[in-house]
Amino acid sequence: MARPTTSKVPAWIETGSTLRSLDGLLLAGTAVVPQDAPAHAMLLMHGEGTDREQFGFYARLAEELGRAGCASLRFDLPGHGESQGRQEDITLSGLLNLIDAGLRELRTLAAGASLSLVATGLTGGIAAGYAARRGDELDRLALIDPLIDYQRHFIDEDPRWSHGTLSHTAARELADTGTVAYPPSFRLGRAMLNEVFWLQPRGVLEAIRTPTLILHGSGPATVPFESSRTAAMALTCRHRLVEIEAPQRRQWRAPTIRAIIEWLLNGE
């Protein structure tokens, strides 16, 4: 009689990881690396105003990736969590360089693995821009509630701006503090406020060649689902748009993780 077989769950190790931005900031991170050499590795970029755990979602995603035999790296953006720097010094071009730094570190942690990128909110648009410019570095791209139109989000829909000009009260706040606060806990500086008029991920979507998964929660959200629908229509690469139900409850996490892992491993 044949003996019953049991599926093997790959062993993995989670460790603290410190990396440097290209301009020298120390960034606090967490790496998950399977003990067997992984074929896939994913960089997890969190959204604005939170940290590398993304309200606990990235920790769970990293664990499930580890169980699937995939490595991952997540780190706090400057001025977030335990990383050096200030939020108000973040720029869009600086975020592109942070992705570059993260991928360099990931290549060291998981030598020979194919690299993929997942990003949420603000970094979702930046990740799309990175893929448009350096798509040959990436095997897969996954964007969660991506912020694609920066000017619309930070300028046009903000009552402190009128016809592209900051109100006197907000301008005084910017002059006094060097920041303009955006809910829930993100502070923009003068440099990025000027960038958002000119640097728009939406304009480079058709240049992306990396297979792209867009996941977006249904219902009211900071970034409306229609934004992701429009972005998906602009993509010319192989892509998939998934609407996740019940984003206000934790039930959204399991289907989101499942969709990301299936996209990473099977391209489905």
Same domain, 228 and 136: yes
Identify whether 195 is part of a domain: yes
Structurally, how many domains does the chain consist of? Answer: 2
Those residues whose C-beta lies under 8 Å from the C-beta of residue 61, and which sit 6 or more positions away, are 44, 72, 118, 256, 257, 260
Among 167, 184, 199, the domain-final residue is 199
Residue 142: strand, helix, or coil: strand
- CB-count burial class (<10 Å; 0-12, 13-18, 19+) for 130: buried
pLDDT at res. 201: 93
Same domain, 225 and 253: yes
Which is more confidently placed, 180 or 219? 180
Same domain, 237 and 169: no
Domain range enclosing 64: 14-149+202-266
Whole-prediction pTM: 0.93
pLDDT at res. 5: 39
**157-200 pLDDT, tens digit each:** 999 999 999 999 999 999 999 999 887 689 999 999 999 999 98
Same domain, 193 and 214: no
Identify whether 65 is part of a domain: yes
Same domain, 119 and 248: yes
Identify whether 8 is part of a domain: no
- Of these ranges, 9-23, 32-46, 212-226, 234-248, the one predicted with the greatest mean pLDDT is 32-46
**99-144 pLDDT, tens digit each:** 999 999 999 999 999 999 999 999 999 999 999 999 999 999 999 9
- How far lies 226's CA from each of 131, 220, 221, 234, in Å? 22, 11, 11, 12
Identify whether 33 is part of a domain: yes
Least Cα distance to 148 among 242, 212, 224, 221 occurs for: 224
Tell whether the model's pLDDT for residue 9 goes beyond 80.
no
Among 164, 184, 199, the domain-final residue is 199
Same domain, 141 and 161: no
Identify whether 3 is part of a domain: no
Same domain, 34 and 87: yes
pLDDT at res. 6: 46
Same domain, 195 and 223: no
Among 163, 183, 199, the domain-final residue is 199
Same domain, 140 and 47: yes
Which is more confidently placed, 230 or 3? 230
pLDDT at res. 3: 43
Tell whether the model's pLDDT for residue 1 goes beyond 70.
no
Tell whether the model's pLDDT for residue 230 goes beyond 60.
yes
**132-155 pLDDT, tens digit each:** 999 999 999 999 999 999 999 999
Tokens, residue 16: 């603290």
Tell whether the model's pLDDT for residue 253 goes beyond 90.
no
Q: For the residues 241-261, what does the mean pLDDT come to?
A: 82
Give the Cα-Cα-Cα angle 238, 121, 130 (nearest 5 degrees).
50
Same domain, 73 and 178: no
Identify whether 41 is part of a domain: yes
pLDDT at res. 246: 60
Same domain, 159 and 189: yes
Q: What CATH number does the domain containing 254 carry?
A: 3.40.50.1820
Tokens, residue 191: 């440099």
Same domain, 189 and 98: no
**41-57 pLDDT, tens digit each:** 999 999 998 999 999 99
Task: State how far the Cα of 65 lies from the Cα of 41, in Å rounded to an integer.
Answer: 9
